[in-house]
């Protein structure tokens, strides 16, 4: 269904789900950090769903745009990271791990919400309304599942690495997080060599089928 769309149609279908997926992911980090005592994101005006506050030229526009244009196997991106200061946490490593989990959890909740949009489109059966709802909802499911799974990969600075750090000793955590300077390049290399598709292929297909079933597809 998605493959039959023109480039302009694909952009129209994907733009809202991509922006919401990336924005809410970051807001979730900041919101949970605030619950643990860190008001940094709030003070900087980052606890907002206004996408302008979160847009990253490369991660929010260029990378998703290139993936759309090239009809890549899946689309992903990122926003400007919400600042989190672990010095405000009572238990910094544990609390940081929970803050990290908040992003992928937010994406999974959004995937459920988009599944309900698809279900609504299927049930309405109104020409000119049902198909856009179904297409946008399916795009919303896909982008949120991709973001949730990618961010759980334990490559610093992805959320998965923050979760792993919570279980390491101080010495091992310090050594492990030294990889952060190479994280972006590792991720891009995995994307363009097909390694990312290999890693995420089975879990993504399984979860997409599960959510599509939830949506009545």
Task: Give residue-wise pLDDT tens across range 124-161.
Answer: 877 778 888 999 999 999 999 999 999 999 999 899 99
Residue 117: per-residue pLDDT: 95
pLDDT per residue over 88-106, tens digit each?
Answer: 999 998 999 999 999 999 9
Q: Exposed, middle or buried, 130 (CB in 10 Å: 0-12/13-18/19+)?
A: middle
Q: What is the pLDDT of residue 73?
A: 63
Distance CA 173, CA 94 (A): 13
pLDDT tens-digit profile of 12-63?
888 899 999 999 999 999 999 999 999 999 999 999 999 889 988 888 888 8
Question: What is the domain partition of the chain in residue ranges?
Answer: 2-214
pLDDT of amino acid 66 = 83
Residue from 21, 19, 29 nearest 145 by CA: 21
Looking at residue 77, what DSSP letter applies? -
pLDDT of residue 112: 96
Q: Which residue's structure tokens are 């919303």?
A: 140
Known catalytic residues? 26
Q: Residue 2: is its pLDDT beyond 60?
A: no
- pLDDT score of 148: 96
Nearest to 207 by CA among 149, 122, 140: 149
Cα gap 147→128, rounded to integer Å: 29
Maximum distance among all alpha carbons in the chain?
61
User: Which strand (E) or helix (H) includes residue 121?
Assistant: helix 92-124
Residue 6 has pLDDT above 90, yes or no: no
Instruction: Choose between 138 and 79: higher pLDDT.
Output: 138
Q: What is the pLDDT of residue 136?
A: 95
Contacts of 96 (CB under 8 A, 6+ apart): 84, 86, 89, 162, 165, 166
Q: Which residue has the tokens 């992911």?
A: 25
């Amino acid at each position: 269904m998605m493959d039959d769309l023109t480039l302009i149609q694909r952009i129209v279908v994907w733009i809202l789900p991509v922006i919401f997926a990336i924005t809410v992911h970051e807001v979730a980090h900041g919101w949970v950090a605030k619950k643990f005592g860190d008001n940094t994101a709030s003070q900087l005006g980052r606890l907002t769903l206004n996408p302008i506050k979160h847009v990253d030229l490369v991660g929010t526009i260029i990378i998703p745009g290139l993936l759309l244009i090239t009809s890549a196997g899946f689309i992903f991106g990122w926003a400007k990271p919400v600042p989190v200061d672990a010095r405000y946490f009572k238990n910094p490593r544990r609390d940081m791990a929970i803050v990290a989990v908040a992003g992928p959890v937010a994406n999974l909740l959004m995937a459920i919400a988009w599944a309900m949009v698809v279900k609504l489109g299927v049930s309405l059966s109104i020409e000119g309304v049902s198909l856009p709802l179904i297409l946008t909802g399916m795009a919303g499911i896909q982008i949120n599942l991709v973001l949730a799974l990618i961010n759980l990969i334990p490559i610093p600075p992805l959320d998965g690495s923050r979760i792993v750090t919570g279980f390491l000793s101080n010495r091992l955590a310090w050594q492990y997080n030294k990889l952060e300077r190479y994280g972006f390049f590792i991720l891009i290399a995995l994307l363009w060599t097909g390694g990312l598709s290999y890693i995420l292929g089975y879990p993504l297909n399984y979860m997409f089928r599960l959510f599509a079933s939830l949506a009545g597809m």
